[in-house]
Amino acid sequence: MNHSPDTLLLDRLKEGDESAFEALFEKYYKMLCINAFWFLQQEQEAKDLVQTFFMDIWDKKLYHNFEGDVKGYLHTAVRNRCLNHLKKQRIRLDHHEAFFSMRETAGHDEPEGQDYYKQLHSSLDNITGQKRMAIQMIYLQGKRYQEAAEEMGISLNSFKTHLKRGLKLLRSTVQPKKY
């Protein structure tokens, strides 16, 4: 049986020993922050991501998933979280760019464009309940469908239905500028 320091630490952690968790944190926090920084290129984002990861390890008892190479598991988990974070940022940026390009395409500086922009905001204000919440979560907050559905406390299919109906209402009330 392998009695490496990590194996002993892991055994103590699985028994609920908080000092073992603190030792794990102290041992790997800096290394994981450096790894996260390599992906994110933002020091504070890297630290926040690793901190959240360690909170999840303790709160969600992720340490029960640890088998064998703890260092490898931690490194892979942080890398995956970084990649997911970057993907969310890219999606959020794409949604914002789409929203603002729609505004520019409408000729926001021209009187007709201002009308279109006002129509868009007015229509968003008139959409109520879960349809509006679905549109805001996806297009303004950049959330994934599953994440938004869970936050709203509804199934993924119900969420998609609310989003589809909300977009249909939005499209029917906003008339794009004719060229």
Dihedral class, residue 110 (left if φ above 0, else alpha if ψ from -120 to 50, else beta): beta
Least confident of 66-70, 97-101, 137-141, 151-155: 97-101
Q: What is the pLDDT of residues 27-78, one digit of tens each?
A: 999 999 999 999 999 999 999 999 999 999 988 888 888 887 889 999 999 9
52 CB-near residues (< 8 Å, 6+ apart): none
Q: Which helix (H) or strand (E) holds 144?
A: none
Together in a domain, 15 and 80: yes
How many Å apart are CA 69 and CA 178, to the nearest integer?
62
CATH of the domain at 115: 1.10.10.10
- Tell me which long-range contacts 89-93 makes (C-beta under 8 A, separation of at least 24): 89/142, 91/142, 91/144, 92/141, 92/142, 93/142
d(CA 44, CA 81): 15
Give me the number of domains the chain comprises.
2
pLDDT averaged over the chain? 83
The answer to whether residues 9 and 38 belong to one domain is yes
Range of the domain at 46: 5-87
Please report whether residue 101 resides in a domain.
no
Q: Does residue 112 form part of some domain?
A: yes
Whole-prediction pTM: 0.56
